[in-house]
């Protein structure tokens, strides 16, 4: 059986001087001349997180973000980090890349079959299809008077901004 020998390189964690992150996805603490490999917590979505202490404060950080910030160049200042192979706990530097939100969502759909629910199918949807149609009809009949959107938002228990999106068809375009 062959084993691939990989060099593990370490770099300081930005903002937290006593911590280092490795190309293999590990985080260690350097205190009192002792190096301790930290054990990650796993959040509800399966991502590894670490609790780091520094400057009198505690901070929770995703392992993949720590790794990407240390080892993956981001010249375009992209906001998201993608696991190339779709495995959330594979935080090796070679498996991470910076991307846009849209690219990250597309990759999730293509690699692991994530299906983002829209409209009433969402677990936290408030407005049913019937409510959306009724609100739009009320809006049309009110001759778009001042304050009507706010009244409709209150009536259906949603924010003014969300009602504005529904009425302007930026949300719930399907109906």
Kindly report, residue by residue over 67-118, the tens digit of the pLDDT: 999 999 999 999 999 999 989 999 999 999 999 998 998 888 888 766 665 5
In a domain, 141, yes or no: yes
Q: Are residues 135 and 94 in the same domain?
A: no
Separation of alpha carbons 6 and 23, rounded Å: 9
Separation of alpha carbons 174 and 156, rounded Å: 19
Q: Three-state SS for 155?
A: helix
CB 48 within 8 A of CB 40: yes
Q: Are residues 102 and 42 in the same domain?
A: yes
Residue-averaged pLDDT of the chain? 86
Q: Are residues 74 and 55 in the same domain?
A: yes
Cα separations (Å) of 39 from 62, 63, 87, 113? 13, 11, 18, 29
Top-confidence residue, 138 or 67? 67
Q: Are residues 42 and 95 in the same domain?
A: yes
Task: Give the residue from 89, 112, 135 where a domain finishes.
Answer: 112
Q: Which residues contact 65 (CB under 8 A, 6 or more apart)?
A: 81
Q: Are residues 103 and 129 in the same domain?
A: no
The residue range of the domain holding 128 is 119-167
Q: Are residues 65 and 100 in the same domain?
A: yes
Model confidence, pTM: 0.65
Instruction: Name the DSSP class of 72.
Output: S
| Structural domains in the chain (count) | 2
Separation of alpha carbons 10 and 165, rounded Å: 47
């Amino acid at each position: 059986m062959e084993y691939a020998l990989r060099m593990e390189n370490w770099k300081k964690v930005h903002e937290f001087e006593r911590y280092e992150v490795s190309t293999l996805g590990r985080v260690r603490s350097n205190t009192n001349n002792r190096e301790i490999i930290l054990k990650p917590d796993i959040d509800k979505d399966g991502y590894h997180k670490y609790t780091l202490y520094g400057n009198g404060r505690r901070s929770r950080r995703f392992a993949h973000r720590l790794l990407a910030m240390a080892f993956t160049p981001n010249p375009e200042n992209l906001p998201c980090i993608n696991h190339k192979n779709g495995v959330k706990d594979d935080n090796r530097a070679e498996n991470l890349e910076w991307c846009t939100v849209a690219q990250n969502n597309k990759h999730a759909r293509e690699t692991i079959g994530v299906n983002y629910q829209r409209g009433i199918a969402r677990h936290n949807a408030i407005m049913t299809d019937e409510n959306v149609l009724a609100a739009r009809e009320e809006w049309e009949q009110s001759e778009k008077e001042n304050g009507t959107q706010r009244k409709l938002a209150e009536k259906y228990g949603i924010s003014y901004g969300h009602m504005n999106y529904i009425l302007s068809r930026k949300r719930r375009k399907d109906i």
